Amino acid sequence: EPEVTQTPSHQVTQMGQEVILRCVPISNHLYFYWYRQILGQKVEFLVSFYNNEISEKSEIFDDQFSVERPDGSNFTLKIRSTKLEDSAMYFCASILSQGREKLFFGSGTQLSVL
C-alpha cells in the first residue's frame, strides 16, 4: 500500500528556534493535512491544504505556523519560534480527493522543545 513519508522521525530543538517538519504525501493525492498528538493521546487538527492554499486552520495554527508545498511533492510545516507547548507528535496525512474517505497518515515527527 502507498505510504505517506515524514522526516525527521524525531526533532529536538531549543525554545525560540524555527523547525521545519517535512512530509511526502502519496503522489496522486490532492488534499493534505497536519495533525498533532500530545502525550500519545488526543489527535488535534491543525490545518488542511488544497490547491496550494490553506483550506481551513484551527485556533492552534497561529501566526507561528505556516505550511507550503514548495515543489509539488513535499508538504512542509514550519514553526517559526517554537514554544515548550509545541512539543508533540506531528502527523501529516493525505487523501486522494474529497470524494474518497480514507486518510493516509505518515508515521509522525516527534518534536521536543527544550
Partner 1 sequence: AQSVAQPEDQVNVAEGNPLTVKCTYSVSGNPYLFWYVQYPNRGLQFLLKYITGDNLVKGSYGFEAEFNKSQTSFHLKKPSALVSDSALYFCAVRVSRGGTYKYIFGTGTRLKVLA
C-beta closer to partner 1: residue 37 or 80: 37
Rounded CA-CA distance 4/98 in Å is 17
Rounded CA-CA distance 107/10 in Å is 11
Q: To which residue does cell 487523501 refer?
A: 95
C-beta closer to partner 1: residue 11 or 80: 11
Q: Report the candidate in 10, 13, 6, 12 with the shortest Cα–Cα distance to residue 35.
A: 6
Residue 34 has, within 13 A of its CA and on its CB side, a CA count of 31
Rounded CA-CA distance 39/107 in Å is 15
Cβ 28 to partner 1 shortest distance, Å: 17
Q: Which of residues 69-108 bind partner 1 (CB under 8 A)?
A: 91, 93, 98, 101-108
Among 41, 59, 63, 84, binds partner 1 (CB under 8 A): 41
Among 22, 45, 74, 96, binds partner 1 (CB under 8 A): 45
Q: Which residues form the interface with partner 1 (CB under 8 A)?
A: 4, 31, 33, 35, 40-45, 48, 50, 55-56, 91, 93, 98, 101-108
